[in-house]
Chain A
Amino acid sequence: MLTFLIRRILYVVPIAIGVTFFVFSLVHLAPGDPLSAVVAGDAPREVVDMLRAAYGFDQPMIVQYLRWVARALSGDLGRSLATGRPVAAEMFAAIGNSVLLAFLAAAIGFTLGAILGGIAGYAQSSWLDKLASLIAILGVSVPHYWLGMVLVILFSVNMNALPAIGIGPAGSAFWLWTRTDWSHAILPAVTLSVIPMGIVTRTVRATVAETLAMEFVQALKAKGLPGHAVLLHVVRNVAPVCLAVMGLQFGYLLGGSILVETVFSWPGTGFLLNDAIFRRDIPMLQGVILVLAMFFVLLNLLVDIVQTLVDPRIRRG
């Protein structure tokens, strides 16, 4: 098992190299001169050349790549073309806000999903199962950016019960743990939670149903084990699969919140990414994507490790 874990951890290295290379080459996929974001079209040639040298765009690609990786390793993701501030500093608060939103959404989605899925799996083909399956289908099929709008219409416009945009009172960019801040988080968190809710419901339902159909459960029942004790055995078999799915879903919540953050003007990484795209702020774009992708890589690693520790069947590589 130790060998497997070490192998798995070492495997992050080639993946990370691949990810950095992909993120770096995104710049070169982009049409137009990356400098166009900072320099006016009619700027004097010398100024353009000077800036190009200053940002390192005059070097060969491989040199630019290695420099970029070396600096990224030391925490320096370059400076934003739009604001001139370091990318890392701009991202710091945004990451916190996104993680917060992801945690809230995960708490809602995973709890509901586990409950709905468990009920559906246990009471297969009953009306409860059908209802849970319908909710799950709607959850995975709903365009969540639209759901966000609908929730705003219902709760902000019609009922005037919850704020529609921002992370707190007008102008604030940080979470402050006040009641107002909580009320700001409700709609985006609920919106973001529907997809993981649907996926977790479907996974839990399928795994529970599959486990219940196994002969060892019949054997447990046959030897007269009480229902709650059988349930414990089922949970122990269902947990590893569901934990893995939840881990990945958490990663998707963090990396996929851009649409919801845009709808609710939530100042997270997605919002930052949106800004960077429309200002053609390449260093910012690269920085945000790189950090989110690396986070996802590490999360995958964590999920694999936890799953290896929890599930005795996959201890062999």
Chain B
Amino acid sequence: MSGAPASGAAVPLLAVEGLKKHFPILGGLLRRPVAWVQAVDGIDFAVAPGETLGVVGESGCGKSTTARLLMHLVAPDAGTVRFGGRAINAPGGIGLSELRRQMQMVFQDSYASLNPRLTVADTIASAPAGHGMKRADAQRLAHDLLARVGLEPALFLRRYPHELSGGQRQRVNIARALALSPRLLILDEAVSALDKSVEAQVLNLLLDLKDDLGLTYIFISHDLNVVQFISDRVMVMYLGRVVEIGPVEAIYAEPAHPYTRALLDSMPAMDPDRRTTEPPLSGDPPNPINPPSGCRFRTRCTFAEAVCTAREPALDTVAGAKFAGHHAACHMARAGSGHSKAPAPGAGGDSANPVTAGARP
């Protein structure tokens, strides 16, 4: 995928190219790396200002590692991250400290992500105070933010994390993330641990905050219903790779990748007439230490053919896509890929991206 985001904005707020992180498995007598877990293996995507990008996939697909890589909590092995057009930690680019002011993160475990010894007020005020804000100002900010996330400041400012419910804690975490006035918020399974009713309240809060403060979200979740509800675009990850990305309508109505289809089929349908009849996704994902050759999904794919083992499909425009910016990494979505189910060459969406189509061997 090229730098230009599908949503059509001129400069993406966040542009990621070739992001990669392999974790070593140490072994043997000398504790040398004997293998590498390919947690995130070269992914590209962009997020336009003001949009919400949903990220879905099974556990272990690299969603959370991606979030930590973006925050630079884990140093990437390779790849560039540009924020507002400026490269991170590069000459003339954006520094880590500045990046972390503009981009904040809310973690899944609402309890573990709050220091048990700090009051709510101190937790929210600690970041701005660390960036040089006066103590009194930081405390006033904490007061305002707490009200903003729907917690009565007079009641909650002096409380400790163990005195809060899960939903209240996650509201505090959101307030803490907002304390530096970021432009981008990464929500890593931020509502997954909450009860359904509480989850809905927090989701509504997130939508309100986004409108009021002009925020951009990267919303990571394994819950496809929630992602559909909140996202403008959705990115599907499998074994450290992006397999499909596109507008939320495209992904949910016209999934191009068999993995996306399998995920959607596993969604519990409320309507008994719409219950799935297709075989569900079977087995666990393969070991990310030694991912399958060619297409990584082929070991679980009912449509796998010789070409899937031979060549890895690139993430490219879906042939005949009805929605702009709908990309998938599957031979079946590419004209002339050699897969029996692929559309005929020259048809449909291939013309949408002649450069990459022509470059293919």
Contact = CB atoms under 8 A, between A and B. Distances in A.
Touch between chains A and B, by CB atoms below 8 Å: yes
Contacts of A6: 29
B28 interface: yes
Question: Which bracket fits the contact residues of B?
Answer: under 10
Interface of B: 27-29
A10 interface: yes
7 contacts: A3-B27, A3-B28, A3-B29, A6-B29, A7-B29, A10-B29, A317-B27
Interface in A1-25: 3, 6-7, 10
Nearest to A316: B27
Contacts of B29: 3, 6-7, 10
Contacts of B27: 3, 317
Contacts, number: 7
Interface footprint category on A: under 10
A317 B28 CA distance: 9
A242 B257 CA distance: 54
The 6 A-B pairs of least Cβ separation, nearest first, read: A7-B29, A3-B28, A6-B29, A3-B29, A3-B27, A10-B29
B34 to A, nearest CB: 10
A201 B27 CA distance: 37
A74 to B, nearest CB: 28
A7 B27 CA distance: 10
A317 B27 CA distance: 8
B7 to A, nearest CB: 46
Contacts of A10: 29
A267 to B, nearest CB: 44
Interface string A306-317: 000000000001
A168 to B, nearest CB: 50
A49 B27 CA distance: 55
A7 B28 CA distance: 8
Nearest to A7: B29
B291 to A, nearest CB: 22
A298 to B, nearest CB: 20
A220 to B, nearest CB: 28
B290 to A, nearest CB: 18
Contacts of B28: 3
A122 to B, nearest CB: 32
A314 to B, nearest CB: 16
A3 B28 CA distance: 6
